[in-house]
A and B are shown apart, each in its own frame.
Chain A
Amino acid sequence: MADASKTASRTAGKTAGKSVRKTTSKATSKPASSKSNLQATGEELLKYYRDMLLIRRFEERAGQLYGMGHIGGFCHLYIGQEAVVVGVEAVKKDGDQTITGYRDHGHMLACGMDPKGVMAELTGREGGYSKGKGGSMHMFSKEKEFYGGHGIVGAQVPLGAGLAFANRYRENGNVSLTYFGDGASNQGQIFEAMNMAELWSLPVVFIIENNQYAMGTSVKRSHSETHLYRRGASFGIPGMEVDGMDVVAVREAAREAIDHARTGGGPYVLEMKTYRYRGHSMSDPAKYRTREEVEGFREHNDPIKRCEARIIEGGHADAAALKELDKDIKDIVKGAADFALESPEPSAEELYTDVLA
């Protein structure tokens, strides 16, 4: 299967326009219906629902705290994209690494990092993962194998390949899950990393979160090839386009890509077609897109609503139970926000620790 897909993409360059897009049901560019044949158990769906909702509520709260002046500087919200990281995390194994760019709060929560520590980092407090010195874009967790949190667009991608090199060198069977956005996919160092990854057969999955806008520049206005799953084609890396608004579709695509990498097949490119509801950052009113476009995703293609529909249709939980779950999550987020406001600022002396050994 993996070999076949590789062959397909290897020939893609020669047969331009003939579809590298994997022609399985999950590879459609249209949103998959919740009635699709992608199966998940009630228990799984409830977990994904909970994990996505935690990210959504956390981000909403972060937005509020920003508006109230408790968070300063930069704050890039993940609202709308929750299915991507939750679906990938669902098939991650112990020891697999996660590394991403600056829109990273969702990845940290999905990795199991403590919402209190993440929120307190946003408010720049001592209780934050980086003791307040890193901020929104710069957090790490050794315990959760989370390698950041990187503020320079695309700079984390060669590191992701390096993590994969260490996996291969140590023969530990782990895979590096390297996330970046559609904007980052134009950075030169991504191509360097892809070439090295395929050349050295590194276990890395390049996960392009295509939310369709690099800040205010649409993919159409910045990419000569708008099918980003083809980014690896010239290196011989297979790619797949995925409905990134369907957590189960994401999970199944990630499963295939991760298996490919873990079993010696080398890297894989997943293009997650997704959408962010908020602006690029807190200062972005997002005037480069229409209200109708945003509402279309919110109303008809929301990853949490789609998961909810699956749950209700499958009879796995009723609306009252989901409401109860939402209340529990809001309590967790409130606890994180309280902690983030109560934790003291780091001392000035702290600024000089961890510069060098």
Chain B
Amino acid sequence: MARMTMIEAVRSAMDVSMGRDDSVVVYGEDVGYFGGVFRCTQGLQQKYGKARCFDSPINESGIIGTAIGMAVHGMRPCVEIQFADYMFPGYDQLTQEAARIRYRSNGDFTVPMTVRMPTGGGIFGGQTHSQSPEALFAHVCGLKTVIPSNPYDAKGLLIASIEDDDPVIFLEPKRLYNGPFDGHHDRPITPWKNHELGEVPEEYYRIPLGKAAVRREGNDVTILTYGTMVHVALAAAEETGIDAEIIDLRTILPLDFDAIEESVRKTGRCVIVNEATKTCGFAAELMSIVAETCFYHLEAPIRRVTGWDTPYPHSQEWEYFPGPKRVGAALLDVMEAA
């Protein structure tokens, strides 16, 4: 075991995967020589050479398009889009090519490609460096979408993603890279080395896609969430004293329906938290699922806590960001409902 930040865990996953399988290549903007804008690929070019870890031009469509071509030809590219906000030029390739080739080739060809992207806000990045576009991927049939909340999961999920035969969007909450940020922006950040989920094996291991984790067991209300908001939810539960059960979905597609149903049927209440904008965010899908499958077990209306329906603001970021205060208010609200 070693103590790792999420950056180091992600890097270790790529390192282990490249060491095991020479069909794995890693590239993207500033990924090779520079080691990535968040340093996730630092040292990989020195270790595996320029043929396997290299810089691409600034062209997201080209990065994703070439990766699809490699993947249908038997390689396992793991590419980095520098910020999730930059994926839009490549969205055509993701949705119309990567997501569809298995279907339209009758299973002849698959796209074992992983696209890593730092996601989410909390870094004063404004509207083009803070977005959480996960719902845009989940909405497209044929893509898997993974969002880890800690270094241990990040490594095991990234290895599983690289080994998966389908295209995987791997969203790395950038506010969690260096510690379990819980939304208390005015407090010093706890480093991962002081957190149990910062303990990461140096060797190979996988965490299966589609399995949620219970981060806190509880009986009063279920919180469905993922990524940075897992830690916000934990803080909200502690601060309100409400006995919440916190489900970290880890992958939003495939989704762990069983874990959701089991917990909501037990608690009878449900709060959903995502950082993205409200309208048509993934929280909306989760609300539908809970309503469809657990309606007769509910003792209160389902609530969601999300970003506002505005572009991600530069100023007033902590108003937009659904912090522990807003999550706590929603918890109190569902507990007070009859």
Complex Cα distance, B101 from A354, in Å, reads 9
Query: Whole-angstrom distance from the CB of B51 to the nearest CB of chain A?
Result: 7
Among the stretches A38-46, A150-158, A295-303, the one at the interface with B is A150-158
Complex Cα distance, B141 from A155, in Å, reads 18
Set B59, B69, B102, B164: member contacting A162, Cβ < 8 A:
B69
A193 within 8 A of B: yes
Among the stretches A53-61, A129-137, A225-233, A253-261, the one at the interface with B is A129-137
Query: Whole-angstrom distance from the CB of A330 to the nearest CB of chain B?
Result: 28
Among the stretches A24-32, A138-146, A212-220, A309-317, the one at the interface with B is A138-146
Count how many chain A residues have C-beta atoms less than 8 Å from C-beta atoms of the other chain: 46
B20 within 8 A of A: no
Contact between A162 and B109 (Cβ–Cβ < 8 Å)? no
Contact between B70 and A355 (Cβ–Cβ < 8 Å)? no
Complex Cα distance, B75 from A161, in Å, reads 14
Contact between A140 and B69 (Cβ–Cβ < 8 Å)? no
- Kindly identify, within residues 52 to 74 of chain B, every residue whose CB is under 8 Å from any CB belonging to chain A: 56-57, 59, 61-62, 64-74
Contact between A130 and B69 (Cβ–Cβ < 8 Å)? no
Contact between B59 and A152 (Cβ–Cβ < 8 Å)? no
B104 within 8 A of A: yes
Query: Whole-angstrom distance from the CB of A170 to the nearest CB of chain B?
Result: 8
A166 within 8 A of B: yes
Contact between B105 and A148 (Cβ–Cβ < 8 Å)? yes
Q: Which residues of A contact B103 (CB under 8 A)?
A: 130, 133-134, 354-355
Among the stretches B89-97, B224-232, B280-288, the one at the interface with A is B89-97
B106 within 8 A of A: yes
Set B97, B101, B104, B254: member contacting A133, Cβ < 8 A:
B104
- Given the known inter-chain contacts A147-B109, A158-B66, A192-B62, please indicate yes or no for A140 contacting B104, CB distance below 8 A: yes
Complex Cα distance, B57 from A167, in Å, reads 20
Q: Which residue of B lies closest to A197 (CB)?
A: B66
Tier of interface size on chain B: 35 or more
Complex Cα distance, B142 from A131, in Å, reads 18
B40 within 8 A of A: no
Q: Which residues of A contact B75 (CB under 8 A)?
A: 165-166, 169
Contact between A158 and B107 (Cβ–Cβ < 8 Å)? no
Complex Cα distance, B96 from A167, in Å, reads 24
- Given the known inter-chain contacts A130-B106, A166-B70, A196-B56, please indicate yes or no for A355 contacting B141, CB distance below 8 A: yes
- Given the known inter-chain contacts A159-B97, A169-B51, A189-B65, please indicate yes or no for A141 contacting B108, CB distance below 8 A: yes
Contact between B57 and A155 (Cβ–Cβ < 8 Å)? no
Set A99, A148, A162, A188: member contacting B70, Cβ < 8 A:
A162
Complex Cα distance, B167 from A159, in Å, reads 14
A5 within 8 A of B: no
Complex Cα distance, B62 from A161, in Å, reads 9
A97 within 8 A of B: yes
Q: Which residues of A contact B64 (CB under 8 A)?
A: 158
Contact between A169 and B25 (Cβ–Cβ < 8 Å)? yes
- Kindly identify, within residues 102 to 150 of chain B, every residue whose CB is under 8 Å from any CB belonging to chain A: 102-110, 141-142, 144
Complex Cα distance, B103 from A134, in Å, reads 8
Q: Which residues of A contact B142 (CB under 8 A)?
A: 355-356
Contact between A163 and B106 (Cβ–Cβ < 8 Å)? no
A163-201 CB mask vs B (1 if < 8 Å, else 0) is 111110110000010000000000011001101100100
Query: Whole-angstrom distance from the CB of A174 to the nearest CB of chain B?
Result: 9
B8 within 8 A of A: no
Q: Which residues of A contact B59 (CB under 8 A)?
A: 189, 192, 195-196
Set A155, A167, A170, A357: member contacting B93, Cβ < 8 A:
A155
Query: Whole-angstrom distance from the CB of A204 to the nearest CB of chain B?
Result: 9
B166 within 8 A of A: yes
Contact between B104 and A166 (Cβ–Cβ < 8 Å)? no
Q: Which residues of A contact B51 (CB under 8 A)?
A: 169
Q: Which residues of A contact B56 (CB under 8 A)?
A: 196
A149 within 8 A of B: yes
- Given the known inter-chain contacts A133-B104, A162-B69, A165-B69, please indicate yes or no for A357 contacting B61, CB distance below 8 A: no
Q: Which residues of B contact A156 (CB under 8 A)?
A: 97
A353 within 8 A of B: yes
A160 within 8 A of B: yes
B202 within 8 A of A: no
Contact between A354 and B102 (Cβ–Cβ < 8 Å)? yes
Set B66, B71, B110, B165: member contacting A161, Cβ < 8 A:
B66
Complex Cα distance, B235 from A66, in Å, reads 63
- Given the known inter-chain contacts A147-B72, A163-B70, A192-B61, please indicate yes or no for A140 contacting B254, CB distance below 8 A: no
Contact between A131 and B106 (Cβ–Cβ < 8 Å)? yes
Contact between B164 and A139 (Cβ–Cβ < 8 Å)? no
Complex Cα distance, B303 from A170, in Å, reads 52
Complex Cα distance, B101 from A294, in Å, reads 36
Q: Which residue of A lies closest to B57 (CB)?
A: A195
Contact between B106 and A162 (Cβ–Cβ < 8 Å)? no
Query: Whole-angstrom distance from the CB of B254 to the nearest CB of chain A?
Result: 7
- Given the known inter-chain contacts A152-B92, A189-B62, A357-B165, please indicate yes or no for A164 contacting B104, CB distance below 8 A: no
- In the complex, besides A155-B92, A188-B89, 6 extra interface pairs with C-beta distance below 8 angstroms are A134-B105, A140-B101, A150-B97, A158-B62, A158-B64, A354-B106
Closest 6 CB pairs of A and B: A162-B69, A158-B65, A192-B62, A140-B105, A166-B73, A162-B66
26 contacts between A and B (CB under 8 A): A129-B106, A130-B103, A131-B106, A133-B103, A140-B109, A147-B72, A148-B105, A152-B97, A155-B65, A155-B93, A157-B65, A159-B65, A159-B68, A160-B69, A161-B66, A162-B65, A162-B68, A163-B69, A166-B73, A170-B74, A176-B69, A188-B89, A189-B61, A193-B65, A354-B106, A355-B141
Report which A residues bind B (CB closer than 8 A).
Answer: 97, 99, 129-131, 133-134, 138-142, 147-152, 155-167, 169-170, 176, 188-189, 192-193, 195-196, 199, 353-357
